[in-house]
């Protein structure tokens, strides 16, 4: 390809959002470039969703030994881990998923350009000494773990999700700084694998929950596995060659630390200041979340870079929106987003769907609860957790849910779909619930909420033929 | 209570349907009796859903050892079963659930009458020498496993679900006659527990599936665990003191046999012939499925006894319908039933929802498929199965699904709800799917079906703001 080229669309970043954007763009034009800086294969496949799920699965399988003896399964005391093999298996699966994504990237041949992109002006990029003129540009170059330089200086024993899956074997002890989704998932998985884990949640919030009772249930569940420090900023230091984590009055020597206290959008190294447009304190231009367009410019921001919802299915949709609109800049379409759904793959799962508790107006909603203490959850030895669902006090319309629940990932889908379809607690109670299933716990919560709604139908349990 | 009594409602059978019926009746009248013959505690809790799930959970936990070594979990060769402890654990859980149901039964005090009920006429019952006059009667006395007398004569080694959970320890080998829900669940669980199992499916149908491709996938999954004989009627015989199962050219000596070839409604021992009303060949009077009323009489038939859908949540609804109408006989309400949902808790789960394949008109529907060979299913080592979903060829409206799928119980709920809400494949594709989840396999099938529907929206992947 020529040194200086002119294209319809340039996409910065061959991650999830960028690849999906390209799949939309090529429905209209083949004259595009996809620019990738660093390793190919998406955050999700390389260092995110996939290797974490592989580690969690092994951890859950090993942890399960604790409930087997009472069932008549003997010999569990002989089960042991080969830490190096555990990490090799995680990397093998990771490589399987990453290779799939790399193949989806390299198929674009010379339209794929490797190097770091910088803006030289509106519609102009410089990449590895080449100049690219583009009618439209999509910024989709992801995010990176936040890591304070003084912690980075402590060396390889201070990990982030970028380096975690490269460790040769399991550490004996681990500090987890930040109990968001990544901290909770990895912290608990490491604990299940026999690593002594201490987790620090500065704000006391856990995995994005905002309901105090559900947060408490999640904390209690985590405390079966690890030590949880809450309410103090954590710090790392080397003391006589040893790594020490501290937070308020707490202090612990650890073999390694995982810093999981947020991610930084890769927006700060693109030369956006060359565009002469207003940038916020993070260096982010203002964009319309319904079109992903930067106001007045042929420029879109998609995926983790835009800082909106750094989760895969939202990045995927961002790619669709930006790709669709990048080839229709005359009249970009406004897209309606899906109902919110956030899942932390801990045990029990931590899930929110729809509106979070903290965003509800007190007095406008009723709550239904279930604590999963019996039935199928008991049979599966997963009888712990708490689900709170919120419904409109007048009509019973489902508003949202926060939960720490067995099979919460599945309950979350059911509820997110019901919320997006504007269903009420009464509508959902007319749906089938098999027996014995975890969904019956959800039904208990729906019934409880239904009983508290002001306007109730005559017989909420079933539908009459004449009424629908 | 007096020898001869007169009540508003008499309920025959304190199982699920009977107990739920009483819970509706007491909202209107306290003048009722509940008549129970034999052990209390419901089919579900005593010999059905609950002990089978307990056995399946232990079996799944033991079977799981086969995938652990590659993950770095060593020492699995030392795992072994204490068969007696396995069965004790199952019975302990069973007793926990049964005791809960017994407590719900005995709380009715002297309104609970123990003994066998027989009709002496319309509105008249005889129970243990007492005569009961009832304005309305609900028959809800369940069903029993079908067992040919010549097989019963072979003694305790010929089991049904009524006797299975009482065995002291696991047999070395087991023949399973009938691969419906019970045969598949118990047969596979026993195989996972190390029992050598042969299963005979006379018709070739498995767990209620009707789609040939899904049936084949289910058979292949089962054949990892047990030997499956298909297409021949099976027989049992004692040969020189040994138990032998045969079917067509197949023949095998086994230590025990489970007869799971259907259930017989307990309708044949009530003296219904005293009522002078027409009975069908099973001895069943004609009843209206929307009201559960026997035509023209103050008589209702609910739960397994009516032979409609012998599964718990349907029995529960039957109890509601019959109980609601038993105290409103002047104008019984017609109830709309929930979308069909049938789950077999095998590995993978076997599930049908909505309309079955065999009941669809060829040419009127499109099919979408997923075989769960990658993604989360691969991480969980559950990457086998097949899902076929059916949608209206013109509009894309979801009609039904048959599947043999990991986490099929949860996919089944999601789809049954979507079907009951008249959603199309395009509607469902606008819902959130998290990553990485088994639900993404469902999305693949939805996309495939969507591509085959005649009338497609412009951009099926997402919703535009102006369109909804």
Local confidence pLDDT in tens for the 468 residues of chain B:
677 999 999 999 999 999 999 999 999 999 999 999 999 999 999 999 999 999 999 999 999 999 999 999 999 999 999 999 999 999 999 999 999 999 999 999 999 999 999 999 999 999 999 999 999 999 999 999 999 999 999 999 999 999 999 999 999 999 999 999 999 999 999 999 999 999 999 999 999 999 999 999 999 999 999 999 999 999 999 999 999 999 999 999 999 999 999 999 999 999 999 999 999 998 999 999 999 999 889 999 999 999 999 999 999 999 999 999 999 999 999 999 999 999 999 999 999 999 999 999 999 999 999 999 999 999 999 999 999 999 999 999 999 999 999 999 999 999 999 999 999 999 999 999 999 999 999 999 999 999 999 999 988 889 999 754
Looking at CA atoms only, how far is residue B107 from chain A in angstroms? 21
The DSSP annotation for A289-335 comes to TTT-BBTTSSEEE-GGGG-S--SHHHHHHHHHHHHHHHT-TTSPPPE
Closest-CA distance of chain A to residue B413, Å: 7
What is the Cα Rg of chain B in Å?
Answer: 24
Nearest CA to CA, how far is A388 from chain B (Å)?
20
CB atoms within 10 A of CB B67: 15
- Positions in chain A whose pLDDT score sits under 70: 1, 467-468
Residues facing A354 on adjacent strands: A400
Interface-testing mutation among B417, B423, B446, with chain A (most A C-beta atoms within 10 A) = B417
All residues of chain A having their beta carbon less than 8 Å from the beta carbon of residue B427 are 421
**Shortest Cα–Cα distance, A118 to chain B (Å):** 31
A217 touches A383 (CB < 8 A): no
- The answer to whether the CB atoms of B78 and A82 lie below 8 A apart is no
Q: If you ran DSSP here, which 8-state letter would residue B304 be given?
A: G
What distance in Å separates the CA atoms of residue B48 and residue B230, rounded to the nearest whole number? 25
- Position of tokens 């402890």? B85
Q: What is the DSSP letter of B42?
A: -
- d(CA B110, CA B33) in angstroms, rounded, equals 8
Residues A462, B83: C-beta atoms closer than 8 Å: no
pLDDT in tens, A155-187: 999 999 999 999 999 999 999 999 999 999 999
- Tokens coding B400: 């039904």
**CA A362 – CA A378 distance, rounded (Å):** 34
8 Å CB contact of B61 and A76? no
Which residue from B400, B399, B392 is spatially nearest to B353, judged by alpha carbons? Answer: B400
For residue B44, list chain A residues with Cβ-Cβ distance below 8 A.
435
In A283-322, the residues whose Cβ lies within 8 Å of chain B are: 290, 311-313, 316-317, 320-321
| Interchain contact B91–A (C-beta under 8 A) | no
Quick one: how far is CA A241 from the chain centroid? 35
Which residue of A67, A73, A343 is in closest CB contact with B79? A73
Q: Roughly what angle, to the nearest 10 degrees, separates helices B212-223 and B181-192?
A: 30
Query: Is A464 an 8 Å CB contact of chain B?
Result: yes
Mutate to test the interface with B, among A20, A82, A380, A432 (most CBs of B within 10 A): A432
Distance CA A411, CA A419 (A): 12
Contacts of A310 in chain B (CB under 8 A): none
pLDDT at residue A466, rounded to an integer = 73
Cβ-Cβ contacts under 8 Å, B57 against chain A: 71, 379-380
A422 interface with B at CB cutoff 8 Å:
no
ipTM of model: 0.97
Residues of A in contact with B333 (CB under 8 A): 464
For residue B468, the model assigns a pLDDT of 44
Residue among A71, A74, A423 whose CB faces B58 most closely: A71
Q: Please list every residue in chain B whose beta carbon sits closer than 8 Å to the beta carbon of residue A53.
A: 376, 379, 436
| Local structure of B341: helix, strand or coil | strand
- 28-87 in chain A: CB under 8 A from chain B: 44, 49-50, 53-54, 57-58, 61-62, 64, 67-68, 70-76, 78-87
pLDDT of residue A20: 98
A280 to A142, A266, A284, A286: CA distances (angstroms):
18, 14, 5, 8
Q: What is the DSSP string of A187-241?
A: HHHHHHTT-EEEEEETTS--TT---HHHHHHHHHHHHTTSEEEESS-EEEEEETT
Nearest by CB to residue B463, choosing from A72, A86, A336, is: A336
CA A295 from centroid of its chain's CA atoms: 28
**Do residues B353 and B209 touch, judged by C-beta distance below 8 A?**
no
Cis peptide before B77 (omega within 30 of 0): no
CB contact under 8 A, B81 and A96: no
For residue A50, what is the enclosing H or E element?
Answer: helix A49-63
Residue of A nearest to B407 (CA): A410
**Alpha carbons A84 and B26: distance in angstroms, whole number:** 64
User: How distant, in Å, are the alpha carbons of A161, B36, B328 from that of B121?
Assistant: 76, 19, 21
Residue-level pLDDT at A1: 62
Report CB contact under 8 Å: A73, B50: no
**Residue A20 DSSP SS3:** helix
Question: Chain A closest CA to B302's CA: distance in Å?
Answer: 15
Q: For the residues of B286-303, what is the DSSP string, one character each?
A: PB-TTT-BBTTSSEEE-G
Q: Which residues from B are below 8 Å from A89, CB to CB?
A: 70-72
Q: Does A103 touch chain B (CB under 8 A)?
A: no
What is the DSSP code string of B344-413?
E-SSSEEEEEES-GGGSPTTSEEEEEE---STHHHHTT----EEEEEEETTT-BEEEEEEEETTHHHHHH
Tell whether B152 is within 8 A of chain A (Cβ). Answer: no
pLDDT value of residue A3: 80
- Count CA atoms closer than 13 A to B223's CA, side-chain side: 12
Is B377 near chain A, with CB under 8 Å? no
Is residue B244 within 8 angstroms of chain A, CB to CB? no
Closest CA to A344 of A215, A442, A443, A257: A215
Q: What is the pTM of this model?
A: 0.97
Chain A residue closest to B460 (CA)? Answer: A320
Please check whether residue B95 touches A, CB under 8 A: no
The maximal CA–CA distance of chain B, rounded, in angstroms, is: 79
């Amino acid at each position: 390809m020529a040194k200086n080229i002119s294209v319809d669309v340039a996409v910065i970043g061959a991650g999830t959002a960028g690849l999906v954007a390209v799949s939309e763009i090529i429905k209209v034009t083949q004259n595009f470039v996809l620019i990738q800086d660093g390793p190919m294969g998406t955050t999700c496949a390389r260092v995110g969703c996939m290797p974490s799920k592989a580690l969690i699965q092994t951890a859950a399988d090993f942890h399960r030994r604790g409930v087997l003896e009472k069932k008549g399964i003997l010999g569990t005391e002989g089960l042991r881990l080969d830490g190096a093999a555990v990490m090799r298996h995680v990397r093998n699966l990771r490589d399987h998923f990453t290779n799939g994504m790399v193949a989806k990237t390299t198929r674009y041949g010379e339209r794929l350009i490797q190097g770091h992109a910088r803006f030289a002006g509106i519609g102009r990029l410089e990449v590895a000494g080449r100049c690219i003129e583009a009618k439209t540009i999509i910024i989709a170059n992801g995010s990176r773990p936040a890591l304070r330089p003084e912690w980075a200086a402590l060396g390889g024993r201070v990990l982030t999700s970028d380096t975690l899956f490269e460790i040769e074997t399991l550490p004996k002890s681990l500090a987890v700084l930040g109990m968001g989704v990544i901290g909770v998932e990895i912290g608990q998985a490491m604990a299940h694998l026999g690593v002594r884990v201490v987790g620090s949640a500065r704000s006391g919030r856990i995995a994005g929950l905002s309901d105090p009772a559900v947060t408490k249930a999640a904390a209690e569940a985590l405390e079966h596995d690890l030590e949880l420090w809450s309410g103090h900023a954590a710090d790392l230091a080397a003391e006589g060659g040893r790594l020490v984590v501290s937070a308020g009055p707490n202090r612990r020597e650890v073999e390694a630390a995982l810093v999981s206290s947020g991610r930084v959008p890769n927006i700060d190294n693109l030369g956006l200041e060359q565009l002469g447009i207003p940038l916020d304190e993070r260096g982010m231009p203002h964009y319309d979340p319904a079109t992903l367009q930067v106001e007045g410019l042929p420029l879109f921001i998609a995926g983790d870079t835009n800082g909106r919802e750094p989760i895969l299915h939202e990045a995927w949709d961002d790619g669709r929106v930006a790709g669709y609109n990048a080839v229709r800049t005359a009249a970009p379409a406004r897209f309606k987003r899906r109902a919110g759904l956030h899942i932390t793959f801990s045990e029990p799962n931590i899930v929110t769907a729809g509106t979070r508790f903290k965003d509800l107006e007190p007095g406008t909603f009723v709550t239904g609860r279930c604590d999963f203490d019996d039935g199928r959850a008991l049979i599966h030895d997963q009888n712990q957790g708490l689900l709170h669902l919120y419904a409109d006090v007048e009509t019973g319309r489902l508003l949202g849910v926060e939960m720490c629940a067995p099979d919460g990932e599945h309950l979350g889908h059911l509820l997110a779909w019901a919320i997006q379809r504007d269903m009420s607690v009464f509508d959902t109670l007319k749906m089938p619930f098999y027996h014995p299933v975890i969904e019956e716990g959800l039904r208990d919560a729906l019934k409880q909420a239904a009983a508290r709604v002001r306007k109730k139908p005559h017989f909420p349990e079933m539908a009459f033929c004449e009424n629908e």
